Structure 1
């Protein structure tokens, strides 16, 4: 059940989304120094698609719903192997990223007076690290994070990962009603945004990916039958519009109005369409499978984990006088550190997770009873007895 083919374009989407999150945090560094008109052009125009932050994380959530659920549909899948593998895969890189952030804070002390009051650097970046705070953020329990700003999303990844049997079970039970289930998820994520209930915003987005996993073969077959080439760019435009609709409408509705919250709730639907396009649009798949984008996808998780501590450190180090240097220095530095982090932390963690998972599954498997029956002897053996 399910396809065994790896869709490399999805790795490319993950890489592009991670880089967009980096650009988003750069805009937060620059925000205190950009005049209101320029800021409006940057954040309330189609340019916003290049710097969407939380919306790009929603792309990660749909991806996780798809790629984490997909192996459960294959013969031989072991839940006993899954849990240690998945949790080690998430927690060990998280802890390593916190160690990196703590070292940077210790080596390059952060003086709040060096950055603008009310800025992302001052309000969302820790200037010191206590053992208690380190352990708390390493547990992925709190809702907000200061040592490594991006870990809020890993909290939801852990929740989804622990609840994966419920997600897969519900999707299987309603497999014949997959379109209705997907529509319900779209409605719930919008409702969650309006009601300000994070679980209702994010968990249905994971479910959208899980529904895709169950229908992956159908999606691939459907894409092969599409005879209208204009459909793909039209869907891409729709996805982009849904992901930035709330920003485009801010001059009309206001930042915290009901209308704006409704539009922001559509971002999860846009994220799901992005993943659909990565699976189904041949031209986009070809671009996402190019070597540079695949490399970016390979280090994407590491890039996501290391870039915020690096940008935060540079922001304090350069101060308000040289805020503009954070991007030119921080982006290539984040890419380089991410490549090293992937090689020395993420990849070994993946191997360790698989090793531990297989070991747990073997240890928990019932032992085969030893047979007391003697195998039937051949005629030649009976002859010489």
Structure 2
């Protein structure tokens, strides 16, 4: 397995692949109003959907976070005092920078939603004006909607998971022997959240799937050791991909029914299986460990944050009819912008996160020493 320090190379590659799919997904949403409905149905209700499965790729992000954020917490010597400030800096610094850049684009390039196709992603999900209050409220990651940079809806759940990590780890450790049935229960909770319109219940359980993988991670490597198991892995990959987009494949039959919500929840299980395959299947490890995948993985967070405002701005700048040119320019431009953003912002956020973590740990140790000193004084006073 390719590693860089404590990083798992194949998971970096999977993260990069997921970020690339989200990018293509949003480009496809710009194109959708201009495509033949029959052609769009073929694209979205066939295995081709895997190429533009943006919402499902976010599920993969959530499972990955549940795994890679929880793994260090399972190691001896892990410091929660270091974790919390470091994690918050790691999330908020890039988010604030990306949101500021997106707001600037809205200010610089005039936007009139009426010039975009009705009920399209461009008309419904993009801000046409900004104010300081808008920017500040969206920077908190506590809102339900994020029209300035609409990918931030998922960072809201990343934030909640990060703050609740001790609970996730506690639960996962206590049910680790029953990881499979608990995983099934997690998918049931996702279904309940989807059916009831409760977004927290629909998305927060996905992170638990990753945390369950984390507590069983040492066992997973042995699953693919035998030749029989290795022969089954390609079939498992096909099952995982099918589960990921099952709600789309069955849409002609299940649209508007409760079965659609059931199949939507299966995407979480499909995402979890893909993450497992990334660490136990040598063929997947090799593919995800290639230089392009590793490069995408390195800039994946930056790419996720910057691409939507770039695509939207180009579409408004060039005009709705030139959607194809906006996509043709926007996809490579997003990759370049992500590399620059990674170098200028994300790397600095990592440095700041390490410093914040060190300060948090030092303050916690100082407080602990004071508590011990105070307890000794009380004990001495009682003894006298």
Q: What TM-score do the two structures reach when normalised by structure 1?
A: 0.92
Matched, 1:153 2:154: yes
Alpha-carbon distance, 1:367 to partner: 4.1
Name the Cα RMSD after superposition. 1.7
Q: What aligned pairs does 1:8-27 form with structure 2 within 5 A after superposition?
A: 8-27=9-28
Partner SS state of residue 147, structure 1: coil
Name the structure 1 match of 2:381: none
- Contact 2:32-2:40 within 8 A present in 1 as well: yes
Mapped to 2, the partners of 1:271 and 1:133 lie a distance apart of: 33
Name the structure 1 match of 2:260: 260
Mapped to 1, the partners of 2:240 and 2:170 lie a distance apart of: 28
* 1:134-186 C-alpha deviation (Å, 9 max, x unpaired): 11110011111100010000000000000000000111122222223222212
Name the structure 2 match of 1:374: none
Name the structure 2 match of 1:347: 347
Mapped to 2, the partners of 1:324 and 1:298 lie a distance apart of: 28
Name the structure 1 match of 2:192: 191
Mapped to 1, the partners of 2:319 and 2:273 lie a distance apart of: 40
Mapped to 1, the partners of 2:80 and 2:230 lie a distance apart of: 41
- Contact 2:22-2:304 within 8 A present in 1 as well: yes
Alpha-carbon distance, 1:257 to partner: 1.8
Q: What aligned pairs does 1:1-385 form with structure 2 within 5 A after superposition?
A: 6-254=7-255, 256-365=256-365, 366-367=368-369
Partner SS state of residue 277, structure 1: helix
Instruction: Please list every run of 5 or more consecutive structure 2 residues that lacks an aligned counterpart in the other structure.
Output: 374-384
- Structure 1 stretch 217-226 or stretch 152-161: which is displaced more? 217-226
Partner SS state of residue 230, structure 1: helix
Alpha-carbon distance, 1:328 to partner: 1.2
Mapped to 2, the partners of 1:129 and 1:226 lie a distance apart of: 58
- Contact 1:194-1:265 within 8 A present in 2 as well: no
Alpha-carbon distance, 1:272 to partner: 0.3
- Structure 1 stretch 31-40 or stretch 358-367: which is displaced more? 358-367
Mapped to 2, the partners of 1:107 and 1:259 lie a distance apart of: 45
Name the structure 2 match of 1:379: none
- Contact 1:208-1:272 within 8 A present in 2 as well: yes
- Contact 1:92-1:349 within 8 A present in 2 as well: yes
Mapped to 1, the partners of 2:176 and 2:240 lie a distance apart of: 25
Mapped to 2, the partners of 1:220 and 1:229 lie a distance apart of: 12
Alpha-carbon distance, 1:303 to partner: 0.2
- Contact 1:242-1:263 within 8 A present in 2 as well: yes
Alpha-carbon distance, 1:299 to partner: 0.1
- Structure 1 stretch 218-227 or stretch 310-319: which is displaced more? 218-227
- Contact 1:192-1:265 within 8 A present in 2 as well: no
Alpha-carbon distance, 1:188 to partner: 1.7
Mapped to 2, the partners of 1:227 and 1:63 lie a distance apart of: 27
The structure where helix makes up a greater share of residues is 2
Partner SS state of residue 116, structure 1: coil
Partner SS state of residue 338, structure 2: helix
Name the structure 2 match of 1:376: none
Mapped to 2, the partners of 1:347 and 1:319 lie a distance apart of: 35
- Structure 1 stretch 101-110 or stretch 274-283: which is displaced more? 101-110
- Contact 2:224-2:230 within 8 A present in 1 as well: no
Count residues with an aligned counterpart. Answer: 367
Partner SS state of residue 230, structure 2: coil
Alpha-carbon distance, 1:114 to partner: 2.9
- Are the structure 2 counterparts of residues 309 and 166 from structure 1 closer, same or farther at C-alpha, using a change threshold of 3 Å? same
- Are the structure 2 counterparts of residues 321 and 5 from structure 1 closer, same or farther at C-alpha, using a change threshold of 3 Å? closer
Mapped to 1, the partners of 2:139 and 2:265 lie a distance apart of: 29
Mapped to 2, the partners of 1:195 and 1:127 lie a distance apart of: 31
